[in-house]
Structure formats: structure tokens, C-alpha cells
Amino acid sequence: MNVLECAGLVKAFDDLVAVDDVGFHIAAGETYGLLGPNGAGKTTSISMIAGILESDAGTVTVGGTEITTHTTEGKAQIGYVPQDIAIYPDLSARENLRFFGKLYGLPKEQLDLRIDEVLEVIGLADRSDDRTDEYSGGMKRRLNIGIGLLHEPSLLILDEPTVGVDPQSRNAILEGVEALGHSGTAVLYTTHYMEEAERLCDRVAIIDGGKIRAEGTRRELVELVGQRDTVNLGVVGSAPRLVEALQPISEIESISAAEASVEILVEGASELLPRILDTAQQANVGISGVEVVEPNLESVFLHLTGKALRD
Amino acid sequence: MRAAFIIAAKDLSQRIRDRSAILLGLVAPLGLALIFGAIIPDTAGGSFDVFLGYVDEDRGQVSRGFIEEVLPDVVAEGLATATSYADLDGALADVEAGTIHALYVFPEGLSDGVMAGQGGTVRLVGNVDQSISTQIAEAILDGYLAEVDAISIAVGAAVLNGATDPEAIIATAAGAPAAVVLADTEAASRELDIVTFFSAGMAVFFLFFTVQFGVSSLLEERFHGTLPRLLGAPISRWSILGGKALTSFVLGIVSMIVLAVATTLLIGAEWGDPAGVLILMLAGVLSALGIMAVVAVVSKTPEQAANWQSIVAVVLGLLGGTFFPLSQGPAILSLFSKLTPHAWFLQGLGDLSAGDGLAVVVTPALAMLAFFVVTVALATLLGRGKVLAP
Ligand SMILES: Nc1ncnc2c1ncn2[C@@H]1O[C@H](COP(=O)(O)OP(=O)(O)OP(=O)(O)O)[C@@H](O)[C@H]1O
Ligand SMILES: [Mg+2]
């Protein structure tokens, strides 16, 4: 039974088509990732899914109920955690939670109970009555997530919840999302961190330029790239010269150069590595480090779009 | 509907907490009304010649006490002149013409009535353009009536506002236990006395600042990123707008009522029939809400909205005559002022104080409601597809 089904979502801002025919489904207990770089259309997509932004085309149903900007039914099943921190700075965490809890129609007794539970989960129980403008960035992030959890939604939408968070809080957030998945909540998680998508998501959609380029489990996606490995070379000297010198090697699938490094996609890195290093020496380019990476979502992304997830 | 209340309750508690609404809605207008109320009659006393007249048909203790003991003192101080009239019609004609600013009429049998404990009525008729003089004349009589109460006969001085028919006033007073009733009516359309004028003027001037807290908070929701959360909640979009409008409305009406009560108690402002005042206040608050909603809709940030709203509030307030009585300015100004809800509000209060009943507030209230309807339509048009975009 799918909690979320969406299909054919389109959204244009003037001439810019921000989302172009996006569609997928998420089952109960499944965590689904939207992996894509800045401006890929992640936030625009989920804004339409959550019934916040009017779509130009497409349909969304949650728990079988259609969601648009004008529906109220069905929205109670969605928990939405915006990318930007969305809390009232002059209210305390408890007051923020209480306000949104009331909007979601939680009865008073249940609300009081849930507020305490959520405060415990997000680790703000001891600061719950302080104004949130006195909180640290990480604390605000946690409250931002807590508000989305309050009414125990069957679909939780998290828009890059770990941006700007210290490693410890980040880990706590990821563990929390994993736990939610296990408890049967359908989770829609957007990120441009490949590691997060790999760790959390049962299935991942790779989105770029408003389009879903590929979708599947990690294994399925990696298979799209074949058995290719990524070789990262630290370069002392001219990276473009090295790229040029490597060009004739036919086993190399693709090469991209950054300032002091070169990334090479090959099938069977271990056999080819000596030849690559030889070529570098002949081209008179020094190598400061070598790293071989087995295929991952980063390389899938590179393969599909010809560019890196983050630049 | 329920969601609108939840949102309004949240907004109101935020506004009360940051005190800005209290400052702009209550402290500032009350403070200015107090200051103006204290300053204006003083300066007026020095620079005004007050032409008083009286008609003594009573020829009793009450009228003689005033005419022989109080008035000569006032005249001796160089504050006023006092002219005696034998016939009422001639006196009223002079008031109308402006050669007399304010006329005291002591009706026949006044003293007898007072002695018998039945009370009576002193009429004070002011020239329409001499509200300050009329105010002074009233103050002089007021002081005397209080003295009558204190020393001789056990009578109370009640102020009966808002009746034009002398017979009706006398009839009411005859049946009432209160002894001396001061009835003041002006010859033509009535203007507010100066204390009430400044109280009402400041109240409606600052009303336009107070209501902006509600309508502009939608911009604040966007700024804080909480608007998408509201849009994603299982509530109708109208209830979001409704909550904001409700916040403005409550802030506006509460500040007006508190100001009316406070100025009445503290500086003796006379707002008039509460029902009429309330009708004018409701219409005034709605008109302010609509105008400020338009400004909010065309603004991009809360700061921008606040700046423009201040400009609009000040310009409309000045044009609307909240700082000086319109009758004392050029005629063209009073014509222009009709383009502001402020002028209609003050006119409504003035007409109401003339005591012709509630019907007189209908036109000013409808005029203010017209502002509301037009501005809400304009805000809807300008904000379509934009106001509730995340
Ligand atoms: N309100 C808007 N008006 C105009 N263009 C917009 C608007 N919102 C988004 N866009 C554009 O649509 C595209 C997709 O934006 P979106 O916010 O969905 O990207 P994203 O994948 O969430 O990126 P990020 O990782 O930076 O959050 C971008 O090019 C963006 O500039
Ligand atoms: Mg985004």
C-alpha cells in the first residue's frame, strides 16, 4: 500500500521549468530519497506534494486522498519539515509546538502528551520554555524537525534537514529518520549528500534540472553505471594537461578535472592504474595522491548528468 | 474558522508580548491626547477673546449667582465679555452670526425647580466655528454648577449631552432627580469639544498604526519561513487570511474602546452615545484594516510594509484632520479630507454629539465601510496568486 503517489508534476516559474514531469511513489515504512544538486527542483517538487505550492500539472495523493493547495483533508497525514528553519523566534519551543499542534487539530490532552514526547526526542526538554531566538542553530533545526513529527504523520517530508548542522546533531537526526522508517512512517528525504541518501534511503531518485534522471535502490542505480570505478588523482601541476594525456586511453569512460585533482571513471581501476600513473609521468604531471572508489551514487550522478553533485 | 482563531490568538499573544501594539495602540494616543488636552485650552485662554451672552428668564437664585458673581470675575480677568439679552431669538441670531460665541440660557422657573429638588436645565448654545470658546464657556458654567452643589442646595450637576430640543431636555430634567442639567447645543452642525476632539483624533490616527500589526504579520510569516508550514497544515487558506484580519480587527477595536474609556475617565472626553460610538469604531477599524492590507500586499518585506504604512497613516491622518479641527482650516481641506476615513469618523462623532440619535452615524459609517469594501477588493486583486505563495 503506497502512502504517497505523485505523477506528472510540473512547475514553471516564468520561463524556467523548475520541475518537469516528476512522479514516484512511497510505501509505508519506506524511506525515499530525492538526490540532486542546488536548484535541481527538490524543494519545488515537495512543495507541490505537500500542497503548499500550486502545480502546473500533475497529481498527488496521500493515503488515497488527493492533495492540492486547496484541500485540507489529507494534509493532516503529512508532516512537513521545510528546508529553511521555520519557527517563531519570539515563542518558546513548547509554544511553537502547541500552536502547530492545534492547527493540526490535536485534542488538548493528546497534544500535551505529544509535546513532551517530541521535546524528549529532539532533546530540547530542558530548554522547552526558552524563546527560540536564544537557541543555537542546531537546536533550531531540531525543533524545526520536531514540529513536523508532532502529529505523527504517515508521510514525513524532510527537505535537507541536516544542512548547517554539526556532525553530532546530524547523526542524531539520521538515526531519528531511520527509526521512523522502521516504525512504519513513509519518509521523503531530499538531500544533496550522497552519503545520507545511501545510508537512509530504500530507494533514491536522482533529480537534476527538474527531471528525475534515474530511480531505484542503491544497487539498481549503481548497476546503471556498470562495474565502473572512480579513480581520484591528486595533481601537482596542470590538471587539464593530464586530462589531455589520458584522453587516448580507450578504457577510460569519462574524465573530469578540478583545480588540483582529476576524476576518472573506468572499468577495473586496479588493472588500469599503472598505465594512468605512467601517462601522468610522461606528461610531466606530478601525482600527490591516488584514491580508488567503488561505484556509488556520486558516480551514478556523474554518469547520468556529466557533472558532480556538489561543485 | 477555528484555525483563524488559533492563528489570531497566537498573533495577539506575540503582539502583546513585544509591547509594540500596546505602545502604538494605547500609550502614544493616550499620551498625546492628554498633552493636547492640557495645552490647548491654556494657550487658547490667553489668545482668545471669548464673547459670552446670557438670557436670564429665571431671575432666581441660580441664575443670579452665576450672572452676578461668576461672570463679572471672568470678565474682570480680561478673559471674556458678557452681554445680557432680553429676548432669546435676538441672542440666538447673534450666536449664529458669530458676534456671540456662546450663549447661556437660564429658563424660567429654574431656581424654583432646583429649590424644589426637581432640577432644571441651563442651555449653552455655541457658535459652530467657536468650539474652543464654547468649551471655555462650558467649563465656566461647569465650575459654578459644581459650587451650587457644594454649598447651598443639595443638587447634583449632571451633564446631559446630545439633545437639541430644549423642551425635551427640560421634560427629562423635570422628571429626573438630578437638579441642574447642563445642556449644550450648538447653533448648527455640532463640533466636538476640544478634549474629545483630540482624544478621538489621536485614537483614529493611531488606529492605522495598530491594525497594521495583523495584516503585515503575513509578511512576517513569510520572512520567518512559517508561511509554508501554515500552507501545509490541514486548514483552509482563507483561515490564514482570516486569522490575520481578525488580529488586526481585535487590536484596532480594543485599542479604540480602551482609549475612549480612558480619555473619558482621565480628561473628561465626551464621546457620546456608546452604541453610535461603537458603530463608528467598527466601521473605522474595518476601513483602516482594508487600507493597510493594500499596503501590505504591495510590500515585499515586513520593514517595507511598516515604512509605507507609517507614511500612509500619517498622510491620511493629517489630511483627515486628526490634529486640528477641520472647520478651522480652508474649505478645500475639509473637502479633501472626505477622502479619508479619519474625517468621516470625526464627523460621525461630532454629529452624534449633537444628539439627533443614532441615525446620524449611518452616513459616516457607510462611507468608512465603502473604504473597506474598495480596499479589500483592491488588495484581493493585487494579491491574487501572490499573497499565499510560499
Ligand atoms: N519562487 C520562485 N520563483 C522563481 N524561481 C524559483 C522559485 N522557486 C524556485 N525557483 C527556481 O526553481 C529551480 C529549482 O529550485 P528548488 O528550490 O526546487 O531547488 P532545490 O533542488 O531545492 O535546490 P537546493 O538544494 O538549493 O535547495 C531553481 O532554479 C530556482 O531558482
Ligand atoms: Mg531546496
CATH number of the domain at A246, please: 3.30.70.100
d(CA B19, CA B15) in angstroms, rounded, equals 6
What pLDDT is recorded for position B293? 93
Lowest mean pLDDT among A259-263, B40-44, B116-120: B40-44
From chain A, the residues in CB contact with B18 under 8 A are 90
Lowest mean pLDDT among A16-25, A73-82, B350-359: B350-359
Residue A301 lies in a domain: no
**Is pLDDT at A81 greater than 60 in this prediction?**
yes
Closest residue by Cα to atom 19, ligand 1, is A39
d(CA B390, CA B386) in angstroms, rounded, equals 9
The domain boundary residue, chosen from A205, A223, A241: A223
Contact yes or no for A208/A176 (Cβ under 8 A): no
What pLDDT is recorded for position B5? 96
What's the mean pLDDT in A169-190? 91
Strands A186-191 and A31-35, sheet pairing: parallel
The domain boundary residue, chosen from A223, A242, A276: A223
Q: Do A153 and A172 fall into the same domain?
A: yes
What pLDDT is recorded for position B20? 81
Counting atoms of ligand 1 from 1, which one is nearest the CA of A207? 21
Find the domain containing A86 and state its range.
Answer: 4-223
What's the mean pLDDT in B85-114? 84
**Is pLDDT at B170 greater than 50 in this prediction?**
no
Residue A307 lies in a domain: no
**Is pLDDT at B143 greater than 90 in this prediction?**
no
What pLDDT is recorded for position B250? 94
Q: Do A66 and A183 fall into the same domain?
A: yes
Q: Do A263 and A182 fall into the same domain?
A: no
- Which of B158, B125, B146, B153 lies closest to B61 in space, CA to CA? B153
Closest residue by Cα to atom 9, ligand 1, is A44
**Nearest C-alpha in A relative to B222:** A86
Closest residue by Cα to atom 31, ligand 1, is A39
d(CA A285, CA A264) in angstroms, rounded, equals 15
* Neighbour-count burial for B82-119, b at 16+ CB within 10 Å, e otherwise: beebeebeebbebbeeeebbbbbbbbebbbebbbeebb
For residue range B275-330, what is the model confidence (pLDDT) as tens digits? 999 999 999 999 999 999 999 999 988 889 989 999 999 999 988 888 776 666 66
The C-alpha of A93 sits at a distance from chain B's nearest C-alpha, in angstroms, of 14
**Is pLDDT at B186 greater than 70 in this prediction?**
no
Q: Which structural domains are found in chain B, ordered by start?
A: 2-42+192-383 (no CATH), 51-175 (3.40.1710.10)
The listed range with the strongest mean pLDDT (A277-281, B71-75, B167-171) is A277-281
Could you tell me the pLDDT band of residue A227, with boundaries at 50, 70 and 90? Answer: low
For residue range A276-311, what is the model confidence (pLDDT) as tens digits? 889 888 888 888 888 887 777 887 888 788 777 765
Contact between B231 and A100 using a beta-carbon 8 Å cutoff: no
Question: Which 8-state DSSP code applies to residue A134?
Answer: G
Q: Do A263 and A215 fall into the same domain?
A: no
**Is pLDDT at A43 greater than 90 in this prediction?**
yes
Interface test with A, best of B17, B226, B239 (most A CBs within 10 A): B226
User: Domain holding A96: CATH number?
Assistant: 3.40.50.300
Q: Do A261 and A112 fall into the same domain?
A: no
Residue A309 lies in a domain: no
What pLDDT is recorded for position A268? 78
C-alpha dihedral (B351, B353, B357, B359), degrees to nearest 10? 30
What pLDDT is recorded for position A205? 95
Closest ligand to Cα A310:
1
The answer to whether residue B176 neighbours chain A at the CB level (below 8 Å) is no
d(CA A87, CA A94) in angstroms, rounded, equals 11
Q: B136 is written with which cell numbers? A: 471655555
Q: Taking the CA atoms of chain B, what radius of gyration do you get in angstroms?
A: 24
What's the mean pLDDT in A153-174? 90
The C-alpha of B238 sits at a distance from chain A's nearest C-alpha, in angstroms, of 10
Q: Do A218 and A235 fall into the same domain?
A: no
Q: Do A178 and A252 fall into the same domain?
A: no
Beta carbons within 8 Å of B269's beta carbon, 6+ residues apart:
B33, B37, B195, B196, B199, B200, B260, B263
Cα A158 to middle of ligand 1, angstroms: 16
Contact between B228 and A86 using a beta-carbon 8 Å cutoff: yes
**Residue in A86, A102, A104 nearest the CB of B224:** A86
**Is pLDDT at B193 greater than 80 in this prediction?**
no
**Is pLDDT at B167 greater than 60 in this prediction?**
no
The amino acid occupying position B347 is: Q
From chain A, the residues in CB contact with B234 under 8 A are 72-76, 103-105
The C-alpha of A215 sits at a distance from chain B's nearest C-alpha, in angstroms, of 26
Closest ligand to Cα A209:
1
Could you tell me the pLDDT band of residue A23, with boundaries at 50, 70 and 90? Answer: very high
From chain A, the residues in CB contact with B226 under 8 A are 86-88
Complex prediction ipTM: 0.81
What pLDDT is recorded for position B171? 40
Could you tell me the pLDDT band of residue A246, with boundaries at 50, 70 and 90? Answer: confident
**Is pLDDT at B163 greater than 50 in this prediction?**
no
What pLDDT is recorded for position B153? 26
Start-to-end C-alpha separation, chain A: 38
What pLDDT is recorded for position B327? 60
